[in-house]
Structure 1
Amino acid sequence: MATSVQLPGNVQLHLDGASRSPHLLTFESFELPASNQRELGEPFPPGTVTPLALRPSTGDNITLDNSIETIKSLQAQDGLLTKKLALHGTLLFRGIPIHDANDFSRFAHAFGYKPHEIIGIVVNRPELAPNVAPANEAPKEVLIYNHNESPQVPHAPEYIFFYNHRAPVVGGESPISSSLELFHRAQQEIPEFIEELGEKGILSTVVYKLGQQYVGGSTLRQAFGKEIIDGDDAATQRAKIEAQIARYGRGKYTTWEWQDDETLVLTHRLPAIRTQPGTDLPTLFTGLAAYWKNKLNEGTARGRPSPTQQLYGDGTPIPEKYLEHLVKITDETRVLHKWQRGDVLVYDNIISQHGRQPWEGEQSDRVVLASLFDSVVPGAYKQDDWGQVIQALDG
């Protein structure tokens, strides 16, 4: 019999006050097996679990419409769900009648966040419904290790929604881990690495090509070509791509080089340590552990070609022992969410990391859709100007 994480007390989320409409739902917390849910360590308050699992109370008349109306009402209650996300890092919603991409889009938009405009994407995400796309189309054998979304570019989403439309029998779980806890452990166990990372940041070099570099990868035009139209000559296309890069607002900390085959090599100096808005707690906003795992898996079924190279911000290599230690901590602190059809996981991307486990069976046995949103930008850990990242400029 599977053991479960004991919640410190039942959580019930509902609209306060006499004006509560009788058709609104009450979301209540429930326990998951220990493989799916754990109590977070420092710096979290004792008893804080991830994910916080929520479902409508038994006896509620559950429809998609009243689920959406309840989400809107809870968010109108001083951003109640956003505050839960900022505490737990990830929320699971189960038992809501979401059946396709359009249902999922409506549910995700109910939280009131601004849809994320992807600039510099390295994976292909064709739109299936408003602000909804496949989560990742890499082959089923590929391991996508824990990471914050888009740490290799300056413009990253704040919230990530995943909806499960089809779950494999074996494998295909979505990992959940805390980048706040990762920083805390790393600062205790490898303090010299954290000190150096805080002082130097990372130098992230991303290669974009005219065609896909791997199955599920993006093309140069998908990454930066939203203003390009058929018939633009090469010079016009380059100018439009460079105008999109300028929207990062990074000045001298983002540079690029065009190669003869129209390959674009883009280099950013970025902070890998940022701070959570509202608490100023430091978080390792990074994909370094995933980057290291991918290097280990190069040439195997679990790996894939990487368009990204990451060094310290001064251009020196990051010692492998530190990357291995980040993997060790992550392995010790993550859970693997076993999907049920209709589940929705919501990640606060600033403080929670996600990924994808390989699975058995057919590629089509796992269908997970994603929706990305913006809210606030994580704060700077150091006062150096390269350490502060801003929202992409309008354009």
Structure 2
Amino acid sequence: MSTSITSHQVQPLKLDGGGSSPLVFESFDLPSTNQRILGAPHPPNTVIPLALRPSTYGDGTPDLDTVISSIKSLQAQDGLLTKKLAQHGTLLFRGLPINDAQDFSKFAHAFGYAPHEIIGIVVNRPLLAPNVAPANEAPKDVLIYSHNESPQVPHAPEYIFFYGHRAPSKGGESPISSSLELFHRAKEEIPAFIEELAAKGILSKVTYKVETQYAGGSTLKQAFGKEIQDGDDEATRRAKVEAQIQRYGRGTHTSWEWTDGGQTLVLTHHLPAIRTQPNTNLPTLFTGLAAYYRNFVNTANAARRNVTQQLYGDGTPIPDAYLKRLAEITEEIRVLHRWERGDVLVYDNVVAQHGRQPWEGEQGDRVVLASLWDGVVPGKFEGSEGEWARVVQVSEA
């Protein structure tokens, strides 16, 4: 099958579940602000996102059971949708009968991935349905800049699903861009930065407190305290938190310090910012460094700036000039997804970055739900030496 979006002068694509499934997905074009052809190292005429909708129901909408059966049939074809995700980075599904958290959960589960357990979460995500939670409940005027999900901790999901339950009339778009293209551009334009990242990695310092540090942020118990019970003494609470941290399996590459009489926990992770895509082994810039610069370093947002600190792996600061250019490249290669109610965006988190634009109106005018999943762990970049550069999944609880 050839992949195609008409307005970008490529051949249309149809995905047929085959067998007993009557549903066919066809690609369709989006405005240029919402869709673009990717640059190197992606193959020619590869668009992001690949937009899909059902094509066999005319003006009608298929029922959810039919959609789920079709998704399973496509995935049974040697992981067809997973391969499209690896190629395009992001898929958009539109025109589906997804109306609430339960529908969304059933749709996401149909892909066959393993649910991701978030350890060390820095935002508040209460569970709304099986493996479904709010995407981010930060105030509407807060910019969440482009990033891969969970780059500041050792255990990140491979796939992210977003469902647009309510869309604002102005603003609130979700950025979409390629981490593979970001690495390629950064290596060409700021090669010294890439060399430093490859050799040193990053030192990510994340602060957790018993109380919420900013609107939409998590507490220490939400991050690591799932085994804590009412009545546990201080020593027991600390031991249970530390047991969760040790599940990262990072040995000396993750360390921690308790301060403020046990009210504050500071974790330090030595992590690879350059990883490789499974199967292709292409290097990907798996990072939130541009977001760190835009949201923390380059703003007066002191509350959020004090939560996370990003340094080179040897503890030396990353020059602002590198971070500034990285943010500029990110803006040059991204599109902004304009939400319609019922949209589902699926990101390959190894390949694509996401974020959130501010919006006008009320806080509740934009409601986006998220579902995180595990897949094949990205590989170690050949230019990085040492065990700190290896990506691992957490051990079972």
Same fold by TM-score, threshold 0.5 exceeded? yes
The C-alpha deviation readout for 1:286-316, integer Å capped at 9, x for no partner, is 0000000012563369x94451100000000
Displacement after TM superposition at 1:389 (Å): 1.4
What is residue 104 of structure 1 aligned with on the other side? 104
Residues 204, 308 of structure 2: 8 Å contact kept? yes
Taking the aligned partners of 1:196 and 1:125, their CA distance within structure 2 comes to 34
Q: How is 1:331-350 mapped onto 2 (pairs within 5 angstroms)?
A: 331-350=331-350
Taking the aligned partners of 1:154 and 1:165, their CA distance within structure 2 comes to 30
What is residue 34 of structure 1 aligned with on the other side? 32
Taking the aligned partners of 1:178 and 1:63, their CA distance within structure 2 comes to 33
Taking the aligned partners of 1:278 and 1:78, their CA distance within structure 2 comes to 14
Q: Which amino acid aligns with 2:42?
A: F
Displacement after TM superposition at 1:8 (Å): 1.2
Residues 295, 301 of structure 2: 8 Å contact kept? no
Residues 257, 265 of structure 1: 8 Å contact kept? yes
Q: How is 1:1-395 mapped onto 2 (pairs within 5 angstroms)?
A: 5-16=7-18, 20-21=19-20, 23-59=21-57, 62-262=62-262, 263-296=264-297, 298-299=299-300, 304-381=304-381, 382-395=384-397
SS of 1:82 mapped into structure 2: helix
Quick one: structure 1 residues 134 and 15, their matched pair in 2 at CA, closer, same or farther if it must change by over 3 Å? same
The C-alpha deviation readout for 1:80-137, integer Å capped at 9, x for no partner, is 0000000000000000010000000000000000000000000000000000000000
Q: Which amino acid aligns with 1:47?
A: N
Displacement after TM superposition at 1:10 (Å): 0.7
Residues 125, 136 of structure 1: 8 Å contact kept? yes
Displacement after TM superposition at 1:384 (Å): 1.7
Q: Which amino acid aligns with 1:48?
A: T
The C-alpha deviation readout for 1:171-206, integer Å capped at 9, x for no partner, is 000000001000000000111110011000000000
Residues 214, 305 of structure 1: 8 Å contact kept? no
Taking the aligned partners of 1:383 and 1:66, their CA distance within structure 2 comes to 48
Taking the aligned partners of 2:123 and 2:391, their CA distance within structure 1 comes to 22
Aligned-residue CA RMSD (Å)? 1.5
**Residue segments in structure 2 that go unaligned for 5+ positions in a row:** none
Displacement after TM superposition at 1:339 (Å): 0.2
Displacement after TM superposition at 1:376 (Å): 1.3
Q: Which amino acid aligns with 2:151?
A: P
Quick one: structure 1 residues 240 and 30, their matched pair in 2 at CA, closer, same or farther if it must change by over 3 Å? same
Residues 228, 237 of structure 1: 8 Å contact kept? yes
Taking the aligned partners of 2:371 and 2:48, their CA distance within structure 1 comes to 20
Q: Which amino acid aligns with 1:266?
A: L
Residues 204, 267 of structure 1: 8 Å contact kept? yes
The alignment covers a number of residue pairs equal to: 388
Identity %, equivalent residues:
71
SS of 1:261 mapped into structure 2: helix
Taking the aligned partners of 2:51 and 2:281, their CA distance within structure 1 comes to 26
Displacement after TM superposition at 1:383 (Å): 3.8
**TM-score for both structures, normalised by structure 2:** 0.95
Q: Which amino acid aligns with 1:148?
A: N
SS of 2:261 mapped into structure 1: coil
Structure 1 runs of 4+ off > 6 angstroms? none
Taking the aligned partners of 1:304 and 1:202, their CA distance within structure 2 comes to 19
Residues 153, 269 of structure 2: 8 Å contact kept? yes
Taking the aligned partners of 2:320 and 2:326, their CA distance within structure 1 comes to 10
